[in-house]
Structure 1
Amino acid sequence: MSATRRKLLIDTDAGVDDAQAILMALQAPDVDVIGITCVMGNADVEQVGLNVLRILKVVDRLDIPVFIGCNEPLLGDKKPTSDYHGLDGFGDAPDEDAPDKSHLQSEHAVMALVRIAKEHEGEVTLACIGPLTNVAMAIRMDSKFGSRFKGCYIMGGNHEGKGNMTTSAEFNFYSDPEAAYVVLNQLKTPITIVTWETCEKHSLPWDWFKEFQSSQTPCGIFLSKIEKNVVSNFYQPFFNQGIDKQYEVVDQYAVACAIFDDVILDEAAVYASVELRSDLTRGQMVVDWSNVTGNACNVRIVKVINMDLILEILKKIVS
């Protein structure tokens, strides 16, 4: 682990997996989360902001600024939110003492992204764990935006053509394909992507998750509460059919790659873009594995993750 402190800026749509990822960053000993920007995805954007405040309250970090951003894709073709995380993105788990919207910043998330990148030029890593609308808009606002970061880590897309929203598109890229296209092709900083297939191949044993969820620490109780309906509505039907379903870890991997050394065991530098026109494959990340286009590599795809280290990192969230 680096001896120098790392500055991290998180762009999120704050579902349950985002909550674990954000807590991971907040508890990392050498990481300063300098801001969290919110985008529509698992819920409408204002609800996403309220979800982030709930996360921050658990670890007494409401001092971190939270900014509300885009609530529609670049072209306005907003998709229905996934019901995987419930209507509010947090499993519809009530919290009577949740912080209200007065804790949210008045500055728009896109403006905040542009400003913070300028103020900390060359010092900040950007972690994107939701649709990429805010980031694409920031690129349009400031042509030098991307070049101001140390790097960008994205959970999104796919490198084997497998989707989780359509037959060929992953949720974050499917939610705003144009934004994903802009970011991959125009963000002038090293981009590391943890794709859907990589996450799927690194799912965790259910017995491990049951132990993880049983923690009675404040973070453990909070995570168990917001994930209760996900377990009942999504995982339990598999077990009822005798299917050994593993626990899916997604956004956590992107943030872990951004802030911890030695998490990535294998990767591939390639050129990748996003399909925008096909009815069958819109939103799919298309990877030029054979360098047919002759384009320079623009992304690093994470293929193998150090699971021993990941399990250690995840356990610390609830310990």
Structure 2
Amino acid sequence: MAQKLLLIDTDCGIDDAQAIMMALAAPGVMVLGITCCFGNASVEDVCQNVLRVLSVCDRSQIPVFRGAAAPLVGTPDIPISHFGTDGLGDVLEDRDSERWKTPIQTEHAVNAMIRLVSDNIGQVSLVALGPLTNLALAVKLDPSFPQKLKKLFIMGGNMEGKGNRTVCGEFNFVMDPESAYIVLEEFLCPTYIASWEFTCRNKLSWDFFDEWINQDTAAARFMKEITSKCWAYSRDTLTSKDVVFGPGFVSYDSYAVAAAIDSSVVTESVECAVRVELQGALCRGMMGLDLCDKLKKRHRVFVMKECDLGKFGQLLMAALRQPCKT
């Protein structure tokens, strides 16, 4: 069986780390590179976070590229407290060590993205786990870029107007609404979206989380450390997710990676046109689903709706069981 080629674009926070580990552990999957964008932390911290994850998983040969440090319009709204100011829970002591700076590639992430896909036309699935700035820049530099992709998987947006960053907006899209708009208008390749509501509705139990991080591997110990002081992983903290969907463990970005690895993980989707709203105090960055074809758009995307939690849980478990450094 031919290997699945993945290119991961990330704003590496804790859930991104979980998703990246899932991709690294999956049999038959090759991660060509990881491109970095601002979001959960500054792009500099994001690059260092990715390098940490690769080091823990003994996969440091995978190239890491620095990308957009700010949205297309305005200034970045960081640091974000959700996963700590550094994106990985503020527990790692050597945050600014040269060890995590020197291995970053000199080629810009957007140029690397275009090159890696152009070298493997029709074979690469791009998985976007953060704000979509790098993707928007890529299509502006190379308008043919989307048609060279095999598939595009996005964790971001929302399907019911329920927000986590704003009243009606999901974090990744709200951080750069213009880029989200461009990507969903100009990327005409097969596109699959794991919205915020989808991930929250397909949550796992906290008992699963406890079993997951208490495995006897370096990856599990690393995950236990970076989640140890993070309020997002505290049962005692009431989050917007808990208020709207009830308590449980949600590895947000991992759903997009799981779908890219094994399409059978997603058991139901809605196929429709979508558009990102750019106006309004409450709705800027919100993704609207055109279920009645009012926009008359030819391009349709697949918005994930239901998930096989058994298969998803197995992929997550494997993410922390992979051969790692001790």
TM-score normalized by the length of structure 2: 0.93
| Residues in 1 aligned to 2:303 and 2:315: alpha-carbon distance in whole angstroms | 21
Does structure 1 conserve the Cα–Cα contact (< 8 Å) formed by 2:42 and 2:78?
Answer: no
| Residues in 1 aligned to 2:133 and 2:36: alpha-carbon distance in whole angstroms | 10
The residue that corresponds to 1:181 in the other structure is 181
1:1-319 matched pairs, under 5 angstroms:
3-96=1-94, 99-231=99-231, 234-238=234-238, 245-319=247-321
- DSSP-derived class of the 1:167 partner: coil
Does structure 2 conserve the Cα–Cα contact (< 8 Å) formed by 1:185 and 1:298?
Answer: no
Task: List alignment gaps of at least 5 residues for structure 2.
Answer: 322-326
| Residues in 2 aligned to 1:190 and 1:47: alpha-carbon distance in whole angstroms | 31
| Residues in 2 aligned to 1:57 and 1:156: alpha-carbon distance in whole angstroms | 27
| Residues in 2 aligned to 1:197 and 1:124: alpha-carbon distance in whole angstroms | 27
Does structure 1 conserve the Cα–Cα contact (< 8 Å) formed by 2:83 and 2:232?
Answer: no
Does structure 1 conserve the Cα–Cα contact (< 8 Å) formed by 2:43 and 2:67?
Answer: yes
Sort the Cα spacing of 1:96 and 1:73 in 2 relative to 1 into closer, same or farther, 3 A: closer
- Deviation, 1:294, is 2.0
Identity %: 40
Does structure 1 conserve the Cα–Cα contact (< 8 Å) formed by 2:23 and 2:257?
Answer: yes
Higher alpha-carbon deviation: 185-194 or 243-252 = 243-252
| Residues in 1 aligned to 2:52 and 2:209: alpha-carbon distance in whole angstroms | 22
Does structure 1 conserve the Cα–Cα contact (< 8 Å) formed by 2:157 and 2:170?
Answer: yes
Does structure 2 conserve the Cα–Cα contact (< 8 Å) formed by 1:269 and 1:297?
Answer: no
Structure 2 residue identity aligned to 1:118 = S
Does structure 1 conserve the Cα–Cα contact (< 8 Å) formed by 2:274 and 2:301?
Answer: yes
Does structure 2 conserve the Cα–Cα contact (< 8 Å) formed by 1:4 and 1:30?
Answer: yes
- Deviation, 1:234, is 4.7
Structure 2 residue identity aligned to 1:276 = L
Does structure 2 conserve the Cα–Cα contact (< 8 Å) formed by 1:184 and 1:298?
Answer: no
RMSD: 1.8
- Deviation, 1:24, is 0.6
- Deviation, 1:315, is 1.0
- DSSP-derived class of the 1:164 partner: coil
| Residues in 2 aligned to 1:76 and 1:154: alpha-carbon distance in whole angstroms | 23
- DSSP-derived class of the 2:111 partner: helix
Does structure 2 conserve the Cα–Cα contact (< 8 Å) formed by 1:270 and 1:296?
Answer: no
| Residues in 2 aligned to 1:232 and 1:130: alpha-carbon distance in whole angstroms | 17
- Deviation, 1:76, is 2.6
- Deviation, 1:296, is 2.0
| Residues in 2 aligned to 1:283 and 1:194: alpha-carbon distance in whole angstroms | 15
TM-score normalized by the length of structure 1: 0.95
- Deviation, 1:260, is 1.3
| Residues in 1 aligned to 2:281 and 2:79: alpha-carbon distance in whole angstroms | 20
Q: Deviations over 1:262-292 (max 9, x none)?
A: 1110011101010001122000001111112
- Deviation, 1:235, is 3.5
- Deviation, 1:231, is 4.5
Task: List alignment gaps of at least 5 residues for structure 1.
Answer: none
Q: Deviations over 1:122-162 (max 9, x none)?
A: 11000000000000000000000111010000000001110
